Structure 1
């Protein structure tokens, strides 16, 4: 059932030129998974979670998944009635106005994605150089940055050639990642001396102290981020009102299963001690799979896991290009950006200027952050959590508000359109507040200014920077900022 406020919406929308009915459920799930970079995310995060809560790391993964699942339902329900490739931008604008839509629905997702791309490019380049034996070059800024820029250029070219090609490449790389993680998990659990997994590791009320609990859950929130990339190709999906939402929810469930299995296997195999292979040893936290895979699988087979981590970052880069270009097409189509961003290739049916622009900006940002200072890049990546909580939370609240008149129609509507999104929004708000509080500490991250943590300044600064930028855009695009709520409705197809 559609929201009563949508009754006056037009039954059809102007064609943006994207390739309609060209992406199925499997491809969309692959896009959602690839954007998260599961192999990379779990290998760089699991050790940190273990340092915070020990053997309860699987429980932290489980608890951190709850707000993600609630938010995924918000995305699913909003996509059903407003299937526009602008996603957050359109949904938040419709419910909270153009200013909120532009800042929380466009600016924050774009900034978070571009910062993430710099880290992904570095990780992909470093792992590929190390994989082919060029270990010395893998530790140098210039070759890593050059190869990272080359990887961005490569995925930009693939994204430019069409969403079907992008989805096919993503599916292959995601399959390799999942096979590597499952293979590692099976070998680790079957290894002689591995401990028997315990249900106590999944106990969500077994944490001692709110500090470690909050820290671990926030880390887990970050490794689930990115599944919403699947919805940015909703206008190219088969059954655009339903398939993208299903892909979003299914992606999060696959991530949960994969992460839990890998975490349980790693703890069973290595334990949480502070010596040897123990996950409590800080020397092992930077790359858990690189530490454990050789011992569990053998040196030659472990190279496959390293390849999976490299492909994980490359696959995520490709999805970042795809998922950033399409919202730009939508924003430009709605009159909130220069029309050049709405250009679509007549043959490939993909964004032209928006795709190339994203790749160029990502390369420029990679070069700037890499040569500014390694610690600055690290802090920039850490601040992403604030941005994600902000725009995920805004989208969840937009869902609960949009369907407020539908909540009495059925128990299901009350649950999936109201209670779950509202809970997701509140949990994201709490995570934002807790993250900001922790990040103020100058010891959080590697930089600080006048006793304030650099991560906090970068995160809050990125959000506040959206205000003057939006004010300038209001002067350039006054029609959108006067009539944005109506125009975003006029340019989408709503559910019958």
Structure 2
């Protein structure tokens, strides 16, 4: 599920041109320097999940470790980023599907929106009928996707290309990002590449042995997708020219890569991988946003109906219905922003700002929650303290630096959507939601908790009350 959430084929297909515009040939370096702090955030999720098994994940953890208002901001950041992603995720699904039939149709925004919306609705139905079906579908879709990327990526590296000659500088990039602001812009796009692995945390209430499996799955997801990203991005550098990828109508990079390795059939196989990846990540993103809204509704920080699960399928049906409705409206209005490429650029950067917020807060929350134990051993100091804190500082840097450099449209989408969260937060805080009360149980690891950096598990567990505010344990 973590691999499906990061959606390597989708991320490469939809975002490579955006990353190349920001980092050029040094895109692999941007991915590397983002992967290191991102792994620190994955360690934070791993340890916070041991203390609190909660579908809201960072929403609950940050609220209990730092402050309820910051917890709500964390949850809201995920909600708005996931909702915006429904557009940026569905567009490539439509575009790549249409590319099988007509190159001109693939660049038609309305056609891409229409086909993408159909794929999105099918995925919403699968998410509604239960996590077990979703999980089984992910095994098939993500398995095929990974095999295709590994085979074609390695084959492309062996084949080589005429566009550029490999250089080890591609992996480090020092002095080639255009200063601090250039590095921050490239790293923000790279953060979008990785985003989605944390769906395992939102599935914790539905996962067996979740205190171990949810966090461990996220760690494996970050490492796995990083390897795939590096292999394919280097291959793309070798095969496709920078001018082609940064033009007004850049060719589908994975289709070009596939046709280079296996002319004719290779391009179609890569399109299949992208479509499967996009469908998979739409599923996992729907899971993230609906589980977060479910937890928020259960805590009455949004209307309580969001916190009710379907009597038969035990999935948050109302949250799903609202997200689907809002997303369909965004599908229609997104065409006002211009071409598919422009929509993707604005969406990727806006989502990058939003995920930087809740990742930074989670990285800080784990240090606060484990403050009494962080210096008990060297492994705790590294994996519960230094690494997550470095990840939090890095994410905060990306947010602040990019807020000063990104265009107004992106800032309006990214920050404006976050600002909307002030309304429900103020309303439910003023109306006495228990979530905001000062006596709320804090997230505080003590010496009685087993917190060895590799194998320990907390003894704490949440208390869920009643059939309407619980989720089925299926996977």
- Taking structure 2 as the reference length, the TM-score comes to 0.86
**Distance in 2 separating the partners of 1:480 and 1:36:** 31
Distance 1:54 1:137 in 2: 28
Counterpart Cα distance in 2 of 1:407 and 1:488: 14
| Equivalent residue, structure 2, for 1:117 | 86
Query: Which residue does the alignment assign to 1:191?
Result: 159
Report the CA distance shift for 1:470/1:69 in structure 2 as closer, same or farther (over 3 A).
same
Match of 1:147 among 108, 115, 118: 115
Contact 1:187 1:296 in 2 (8 A): yes
Match of 2:125 in 1: 157
* CA distances 1:114-159 after superposition (whole Å, capped 9, x unpaired): 001111112212222232x155544444443333322222111101
> Are 1:34 and 1:316, in contact at CA under 8 Å, matched by a contact in 2?
yes
1:458–1:53 Cα change, 3 Å: closer
8 Å CA contact 1:436–1:456 kept in 2: the answer is yes
Cα distance in 2, alignment partners of residues 251 and 214 from structure 1: 23
Q: Which runs of 5+ in 1 are unaligned?
A: 1-30, 445-452
Offset at 1:456?
1.6
- Which shifted more, 163-172 or 336-345? 336-345
* Shift in CA distance, 44/354, structure 1 to aligned 2, threshold 3 Å: closer
2:292 aligned residue? 327
Aligned to 1:356: 321
5+ unaligned residues in a row in structure 2: which ranges? 445-456, 461-475
Aligned length: 444
Partner in structure 1 of residue 416 of structure 2: 461
Cα deviations by residue, 1:303-352 (Å, 9 ceiling, x for unpaired)? 01012112221111111111211122222222323332222233323222
Distance 2:161 2:134 in 1: 42
SS of 2:405's partner is helix
Using structure 1 for the length normalisation, give the TM-score.
0.82
Task: Supply the distance in 1 between the matched residues of 2:112 and 2:89 (Cα, whole angstroms).
Answer: 11
Q: Show the counterpart of 2:459.
A: 495
User: Are 2:14 and 2:344, in contact at CA under 8 Å, matched by a contact in 1?
Assistant: no
- 1:176-325, aligned counterparts within 5 Å? 176-191=144-159, 197-203=166-172, 205=174, 207=176, 209-210=178-179, 211-270=181-240, 274=243, 282=247, 287-325=252-290
Q: Hey, what's the Cα distance between the residues in 2 that align with 1:165 and 1:95?
A: 34
C-alpha distance in structure 1 between counterparts of 2:214 and 2:424, whole Å: 31
RMSD: 2.7
Match of residue 5 from structure 2: 35
Helix, strand or coil: the match of 1:407?
A: coil
Deviation (angstroms), 1:43:
2.7
Moved more, 331-340 or 92-101: 331-340
Q: Deviations over 1:44-96 (max 9, x none)?
A: 33344445444433222111111211111111110011111110110011022
CA distance, structure 2, for counterparts of residue 359 and residue 404 of structure 1: 40
For the 8 Å contact 2:20–2:242, the answer to whether it is kept is: no
C-alpha separation in 1, matches of 2:365 and 2:296: 18
Do 2:160 and 2:235's aligned partners in 1 also have CA atoms closer than 8 Å? no
Deviation at 1:209?
A: 4.1
- In 1: Cα distance, 2:253 partner to 2:94 partner: 18
Q: Distance in 1 between matches of 2:214 and 2:287?
A: 15
